[in-house]
């Protein structure tokens, strides 16, 4: 399931984030790539644990944990601390699949990467190229969102970032370990939850709501791994 989540940060907030990131020191993005991915990764990245990454990443996660659509779609159990990257001057990242397990730096904890997430931080008119291209069973999706908006998609998807031929593309990226590891099951639960919310608004006293809500929770109980 590919899902676009809008307006996590306002235009003013994103502008301040970009200003801070533009003053930061960037390292070679290959430092956090796997052996195969490093061959096709050409970008810059804030070092893991960088104070600025912790500050902005913490604010991002606070927003997400309070975002009903994100919670409904991802059913998050763990979230890998957000990382930040920078593409310019032809920088790109060829087709790859994200590593299945990501150890959190400086911690014994690990995150199974069920879901990948990218938060766009640059105005799409300020750079050429830089589309996130995702392949799944329904075809190829090209994603280039307004600044402050997020896309989530299965981490098992083959994906790439197109070369940035003008300007600078700033983004945050991270991974989610879901309580429900199968994407098809998460998609079904998300559709059910959205239907329940719609019926609750429109016909809150309808007796079928109780049955539908019970079915949702029984499926979640069967599939969840916590």
Annotated binding-site ranges for 2-oxoglutarate: 169
CB-side neighbour CA atoms (13 Å) of 198 = 6
Running DSSP on this structure, what letter comes out for residue 122?
Answer: S
- Using alpha carbons, select from 34, 23, 29 the residue that is nearest to residue 46: 29
Summarize the annotated binding site as residue ranges. 96, 98, 159, 169
Dig out the tokens for 221 from the structure: 């109980």
Known binding-site positions for Fe cation:
96, 98, 159
Give the length of the chain: 226
Separation between Cα atoms, residue 108 and residue 105, nearest integer Å: 8
Q: Do residues 175 and 166 make contact, with C-beta atoms less than 8 angstroms apart?
A: no
For the residues of 65-111, what is the DSSP string, one character each?
Answer: HT-HHHHHHH-EEEEPPPEEEEEETT-EEEEE---SEEEPTTSS-EE
Rounded Cα distance, 120 and 100, in Å: 23
- Do 44 and 24 touch, CB atoms closer than 8 A? no
């Amino acid at each position: 399931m590919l899902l676009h989540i809008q307006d996590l940060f306002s235009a003013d907030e994103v502008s301040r984030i970009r200003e801070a990131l533009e003053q930061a020191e960037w390292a070679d993005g290959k430092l956090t790539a796997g052996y195969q991915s490093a061959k096709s990764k050409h970008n810059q990245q804030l070092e893991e644990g960088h104070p600025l990454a912790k500050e902005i990443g913490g604010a991002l996660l606070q927003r997400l944990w309070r975002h009903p659509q994100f919670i409904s779609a991802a059913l998050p159990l763990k979230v890998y601390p957000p990382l930040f990257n920078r593409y310019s001057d032809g920088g790109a990242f060829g087709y790859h699949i994200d590593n299945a397990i990501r150890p959190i730096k400086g911690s014994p904890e690990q995150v199974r990467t069920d879901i990948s997430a990218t938060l766009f931080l640059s105005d799409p008119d300020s750079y050429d190229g830089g589309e996130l291209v995702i392949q799944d069973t329904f075809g190829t999706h090209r994603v280039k969102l307004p600044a402050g908006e997020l896309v989530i998609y299965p981490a098992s998807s083959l994906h790439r970032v197109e070369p940035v031929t003008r300007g600078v593309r700033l983004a945050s990226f991270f991974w989610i370990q879901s309580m429900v590891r199968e994407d098809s099951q998460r998609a079904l639960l998300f559709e059910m939850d959205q239907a329940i919310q719609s019926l609750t608004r429109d016909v809150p006293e309808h007796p079928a709501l109780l049955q539908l809500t019970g079915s949702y929770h029984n499926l979640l109980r069967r599939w969840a791994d916590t």
